[in-house]
């Protein structure tokens, strides 16, 4: 009965055609009680279909032939050896049988469970790899009647991955040997790595990449096309491009935001980056939702968005900018753990498929980014180049065929393959006490790890810049003109001035209207809800209660400070209120070139005008310098009293 089932299943699979399976194997199958649905029989059916398919590749045909030529002696030998094994060692022989499909073998070892990776780039066995499509010439076979005929040659693109150990062709044997599968194997990929350079790397003929020299070359490309006042930005942009090749090894990778008025080189900066970065995309404007996650899933490359302000719309009811579903997808590109579920139709049913939009991302806008997107970005404020600066007229698109772009990319691939382990070690052991906290540390850690590997002085420079940027962002996190700031200020007044720890939302609204001079808003029934919602999002939700008078926040000064200090330190309630300053009455002012004479009814006092231009002076230049002309207000007030 078993034999009949086997013969019927195999004969049916090949539609009566002659099989290269040894007929004597049926007896072996019967003796070992193999059913027609055994994994081993399923493999036979699968490979027989490959042999019968005119579209099967030479690689598939060879693999099928090798498997189907297994003979009776080999199988009997395996069975015989497994029976001879002592009880404690029998598992080894049984595993060997299971590999051939004899029975359904359970897997109880984690390292043998099939892993899923992304083909374009990922981490495998603590090494980075890159997926490439390598062309190969094969026979062009056509079917004439019942026979196949070679009519010529054709070129096909075959999937391979390149690791520090060498080149691996993706086939069934590779998957089984490495317990590895890929989410998808793309038929097309951007041709970013020169084939000749790949061959030299695999043949060990390439020179080791000088990391400092590579970084300088990338910096030089930015310097040639872009005018940036603060020179540290050139290093940051270059580190970001280099890091895009290793982003799959980081838990998060920062966005770069280019913000500025029209004509300040925002788009140009992204174009330069797209010529260098890993699988850099075209600069997109107003992309569709499906483009965002499918593009990342396909090539894992860097993506660029222009006119990003179109992604947000101001909601007058909630008094804040709100993004659509595309901003949610962009936000999930920041973290490797971010996933996007979508319903996909397979046959007649719909299944949930999870996409990963994670990857290097740059955005450009005039008005800036909002919400979570802004907190995940390193923001560069762009300015116009001077009229006599030739960089204003230089466009990278005009030099797209310059071989230097390809040389840089070739070196980026090789640099990543050769140095990933060391950079990963720095990243995993990065100190937590460098002056950056929470999100800021997560943002800068990938770039700082690469900088530290390349050059300690570059690391120190970028770290100092990161701390200044982070401090500035903390000041701007809740801007004075924002509704959040007004809500916090009103709550602070209720706690500090009114000495009340049970603060009703209606009382906060009254204080808000007084501070904003909006008495007409006292009758706005939606304002209470808006204030409550915003305070909830800022961290006060757990402190909100309700009684018969309405909603209230049960919060004291200490709890208020714990929540407000990290997001808006200037509104934190001081334990010792500062002494009010003595007002300085000014009756008339006489201006001169060097100074200003301030006088009241008594004695005139001479002070010096000090002007600081934020456009031309770097804040770091002011540190530690003694300004002999600064005003001593304490002395001025003491003299006034006398």
- What is the rounded average pLDDT of the residues 611-620? 38
- The pLDDT of residue 528 is above 50: yes
Residue 98, domain member (yes or no) = yes
What is the structure's pLDDT at 428? 93
Helix (H, G, I), strand (E, B) or coil at 63: helix
- What is the rounded average pLDDT of the residues 148-161? 87
What is the structure's pLDDT at 28? 53
Q: Are residues 229 and 363 in the same domain?
A: yes
Q: State the Cα–Cα distance between residues 474 and 488, nearest whole angstrom.
A: 15
Name the percent of the chain lying above pLDDT 70. Answer: 73
- The region of weakest confidence among 170-179, 337-346, 423-432, 566-575 is 566-575
CB environment 449-469: b (16+ within 10 A), e (fewer): bbbbbbbeebbebbbebbebb
Instruction: Give residue 120's pLDDT band: very low, low, confident or very high (50, 70, 90).
Output: very high
Report the greatest alpha carbon distance in the chain. 122
- The region of weakest confidence among 22-36, 256-270, 302-316, 369-383 is 22-36
Q: State the Cα–Cα distance between residues 609 and 284, nearest whole angstrom.
A: 48
- The pLDDT of residue 264 is above 90: no
Q: Are residues 119 and 95 in the same domain?
A: no
- The pLDDT of residue 403 is above 90: yes
What is the structure's pLDDT at 76? 52
- What is the rounded average pLDDT of the residues 298-304? 88
- The region of weakest confidence among 233-237, 319-323, 520-524 is 319-323
What is the structure's pLDDT at 66? 65
Q: Are residues 360 and 225 in the same domain?
A: yes
Cβ-based neighbours of 44, under 8 Å, separated by 6 or more: 10, 13, 21, 68
Residue (of 405, 373, 183) closest to 294 by Cα position:
183
Domain boundary among 106, 132, 158: 106
Q: Are residues 513 and 370 in the same domain?
A: no
Instruction: Give residue 149's pLDDT band: very low, low, confident or very high (50, 70, 90).
Output: confident
What is the structure's pLDDT at 506? 87
Residue 581, domain member (yes or no) = no
- What Å distances lie between residue 20 and 31, 44, 65, 315, 488, CA to CA? 21, 10, 8, 71, 80
Q: Quick one: 501 exposed, middle or buried, by C-beta within 10 A (0-12, 13-18, 19+)? A: middle
Q: What is the mean pLDDT of the chain?
A: 76
Q: Are residues 134 and 180 in the same domain?
A: yes
Q: Are residues 420 and 489 in the same domain?
A: no
- What is the rounded average pLDDT of the residues 485-499? 84
How confident is the model over 7-33, as pLDDT tens digits? 454 444 444 344 444 444 555 555 555
How confident is the model over 336-349, as pLDDT tens digits? 888 878 877 777 78
The count of structural domains within the chain is: 5
What is the structure's pLDDT at 101? 46
Q: Are residues 416 and 286 in the same domain?
A: yes
What is the structure's pLDDT at 532? 87
How confident is the model over 427-480, as pLDDT tens digits? 999 988 888 888 889 899 999 999 999 999 999 999 999 988 887 766 556 767
- The region of weakest confidence among 244-248, 396-400, 571-575 is 571-575
Give the pairing type, strands 349-355 and 340-346: antiparallel
Q: Are residues 461 and 416 in the same domain?
A: yes
Q: Considering the entire predicted model, what is its pTM?
A: 0.65
What is the structure's pLDDT at 39? 61
Domain assignment of residue 597, given as a range: 588-641
Q: Are residues 300 and 171 in the same domain?
A: no
Q: Which stretches within 429-482 are classed as H helix?
A: 438-454, 456-477
Q: State the Cα–Cα distance between residues 50 and 489, nearest whole angstrom.
A: 73
Instruction: Give residue 251's pLDDT band: very low, low, confident or very high (50, 70, 90).
Output: very high
Q: Give the CATH number, domain containing residue 503.
A: 1.10.10
CA 331 to chain centre: 9
């Amino acid at each position: 009965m078993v034999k009949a089932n086997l013969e019927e299943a195999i004969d049916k699979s090949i539609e009566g055609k002659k099989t290269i399976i040894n007929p004597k194997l049926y007896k072996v199958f019967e003796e070992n009680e193999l059913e027609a649905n055994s994994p081993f029989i399923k493999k036979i059916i699968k490979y027989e279909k490959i042999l019968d398919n005119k579209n099967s590749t030479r690689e598939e045909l060879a693999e099928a032939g090798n498997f189907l030529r297994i003979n009776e002696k080999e199988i009997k030998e395996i069975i015989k050896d497994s029976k001879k094994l002592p009880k404690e060692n029998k598992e080894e022989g049984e595993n060997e049988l299971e590999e051939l499909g004899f029975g359904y073998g359970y897997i109880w070892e984690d390292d043998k469970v099939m892993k899923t990776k992304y083909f374009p780039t990922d981490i495998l066995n603590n090494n980075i790899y890159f997926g490439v499509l390598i062309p190969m010439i094969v026979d062009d076979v056509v079917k004439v009647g019942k026979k196949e005929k070679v009519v010529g040659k054709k070129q096909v693109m075959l999937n391979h991955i390149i690791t520090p150990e060498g080149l691996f062709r993706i086939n069934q044997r590779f998957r089984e040997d490495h317990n590895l599968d890929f989410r998808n194997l793309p038929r097309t990929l951007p041709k970013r790595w020169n084939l000749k350079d790949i061959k030299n790397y695999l043949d060990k003929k390439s020179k080791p990449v000088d990391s400092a020299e590579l970084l300088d070359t990338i910096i030089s490309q930015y310097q040639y096309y872009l005018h940036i006042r603060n020179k540290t930005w050139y290093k940051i942009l270059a580190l970001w491009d280099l890091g895009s090749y290793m982003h799959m090894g980081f838990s998060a990778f920062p966005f770069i935001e280019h913000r500025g008025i029209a004509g300040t080189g925002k788009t140009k900066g992204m174009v330069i980056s797209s010529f260098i970065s890993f699988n850099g995309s075209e600069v997109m404007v107003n992309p569709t939702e499906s483009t965002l996650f499918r593009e990342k899933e396909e090539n894992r490359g860097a993506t660029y968005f222009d006119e990003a302000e179109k992604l947000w719309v101001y909601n007058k009811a909630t008094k804040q900018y709100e993004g659509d579903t595309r901003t949610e997808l962009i936000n999930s590109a920041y973290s490797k753990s971010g996933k996007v579920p979508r319903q996909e139709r397979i046959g007649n049913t719909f299944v949930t498929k999870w996409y990963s939009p994670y990857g290097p991302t740059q955005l450009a806008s005039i008005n800036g980014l909002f919400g979570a997107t802004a907190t995940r970005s390193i923001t560069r404020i762009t300015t116009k180049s001077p009229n006599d600066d030739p960089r204003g007229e230089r466009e990278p698109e005009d030099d797209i065929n310059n071989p230097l772009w390809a040389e840089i990319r070739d070196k980026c691939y090789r640099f990543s393959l050769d140095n990933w382990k060391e950079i990963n070690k720095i990243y995993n052991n990065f100190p937590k006490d460098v002056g950056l906290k929470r999100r800021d540390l997560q943002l800068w850690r990938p770039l700082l790890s690469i900088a530290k590997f390349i050059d300690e002085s570059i690391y120190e420079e970028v770290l100092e810049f990161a701390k200044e940027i982070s401090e500035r962002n903390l000041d701007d996190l809740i801007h004075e003109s924002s509704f959040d700031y007004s809500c916090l200020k009103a709550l602070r007044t209720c706690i500090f001035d009114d000495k009340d720890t049970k603060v009703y939302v209606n009382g906060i609204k009254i204080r808000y209207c007084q501070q904003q001079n909006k008495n007409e808003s006292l009758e706005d029934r939606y304002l209470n809800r808006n204030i409550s919602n915003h305070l909830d999002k800022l961290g006060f939700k757990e402190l909100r209660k309700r009684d018969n008078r309405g909603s209230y926040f049960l919060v004291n000064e200490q709890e208020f400070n714990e929540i407000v200090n990290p997001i808006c330190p200037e509104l934190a309630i001081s334990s010792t209120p500062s002494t009010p300053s003595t007002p300085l009455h000014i009756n008339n002012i006489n201006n001169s070139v060097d100074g200003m004479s301030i006088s009241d009814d008594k004695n005139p006092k001479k002070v010096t005008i000090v002007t600081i231009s934020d456009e031309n002076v770097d804040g770091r230049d002011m540190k530690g310098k003694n300004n002999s002309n600064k005003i001593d207000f304490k002395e001025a007030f003491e003299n006034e009293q006398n």
